[in-house]
Amino acid sequence: MSEKKCPLNREQLEELTKEFPTPFHLYDEAAIRANARALKAAFAWNPGFKEYFAVKATPNPYLMKILKSEGFGADCSSYPELLLSESIGLSGEEIIFTSNDTPAYEYKKAVELGAIINLDDLTHIEFLEQCAGIPELVCFRYNPGPLKEGNAIIGNPEEAKYGFTRDQLFEGYRILRDKGVKRFGLHTMVASNELDAKYFVETAHILFDLVKELSAELGIEFEFINIGGGIGIPYKPEEMPVDLQMVGEGIRELYEAAGFTSLDLRMECGRMVTGPFGWLVSRVLHKKHTYKQYVGLDSCMANLMRPGMYGAYHHITVPGKEEQAHDFVCDVTGSLCENNDKFAIDRALAEPEIGDLVVIHDAGAHGHSMGFNYNGKLRSSELLLREDGTTVQIRRAETVEDYFATLDFKGLETFEA
């Protein structure tokens, strides 16, 4: 069993709170960089390998700039994500735009940046052509249906809203070929937070076989396959991380057996890149005992939605009490007027007291990014622990003024109810 640790101890965190009140998200630059290099090393055998960081996981330009310096591109799914990528100097084929139910202005921006367009449906070919034109390189997202199992987060492929069927792929690439397109990619992603290394090797195998069939029947060549993201992280202490070397070696063996020499491999991981290296730091406001024990924090689902949204597990520790007995069973709650606003249910902790800090682990992806303003809650700040040991704020906390900024209070003066 691995031990979940925060890079700062209780005294260091308390010192930090003097300048940055809780709650806040804290990220570890050195750990993110080391992890990024490990991912690239696992696929170094493929000269054209490219990781496109899934911006939706942690859409902060400071973190994106760190990853850009490590050679990562950006996987975008919206206009603001494209703008974030542009703001740090990414352009052209350093960006892949994978979206669904996409408005015209988003396609226009993606084409303007020269991004790789990854279409989600056969009808989107005509839509893209009309609103922005067909670029020289186009990719399709494949939904393998019953050929591949999904998992709890993304669901079964047959029930997922994403991607082309197999038959639609052949029709779609034929249409592109006949329109004069010469450069092609193929993409799929059918799981999220998957911890089985073999899953990703099997996904690559499916795409390798499909590329060969498409090329043979249509007379086209593919520049790359993109096996998506979906690599999970060990949220529970007893879980093990995905063995990246095993994934890389397994795909390399299939690649060589298939006789490929110039087909590039692409990925778009987000969660596993930053997830384990982010922490939500909060403070105990209240303790309550009714039919069970409750520990109430100064954070809520607005700061970390995953546990309340679908019962996801996030490990919780009380800094300074790591060595104490974990025999206090409680629900760890937030202040929303929703009973599912709970970070943990019946969790055994070292007993926290009012005023104690609490660290919620593995909050570096799909944490702050899924924040919202229900109940008028304000989203918290994001901090970055630099490699030199200093800490900087990379996103300030929201204010009441931010929350009210889109309301026209002056109009109330003449509004008759």
Could you give the residue numbers annotated as active site?
337
Asked whether 105 and 84 are in contact (CB, 8 A), the reply is no
Given its phi and psi angles, is residue 180 left (phi above 0), alpha (psi -120 to 50 degrees) or beta? left
Residue for token pair 């779609």: 172
Residue for token pair 């993110």: 32
3-state secondary structure of 64: helix
Residues contacting 313, CB < 8 A, separation 6+: 235, 236, 307, 344
- State the Cα torsion 87-88-92-96 to the nearest 10°: -90
Query: Which backbone phi and psi does 69 adopt, to 5 degrees?
Result: -65, -20
Best CA proximity match to 224, nearest among 177, 162, 267: 267
Q: What is the DSSP string of 65-125?
A: HHHHHTT-EEEE-SHHHHHHHHHTT--GGGEEEE-SS--HHHHHHHHHHTPEEEE-STTHH
Question: Which H or E run includes 210?
Answer: helix 197-218
Asked whether 90 and 73 are in contact (CB, 8 A), the reply is yes
Query: Which backbone phi and psi does 172 adopt, to 5 degrees?
Result: -65, -45
Question: What does the alpha-carbon distance between residue 318 and residue 357 come to, in Å, rounded to a whole number?
Answer: 6
Question: What does the alpha-carbon distance between residue 374 and residue 301 come to, in Å, rounded to a whole number?
Answer: 9
- What distance, in Å, lies between the first and last C-alpha atoms of the chain? 62
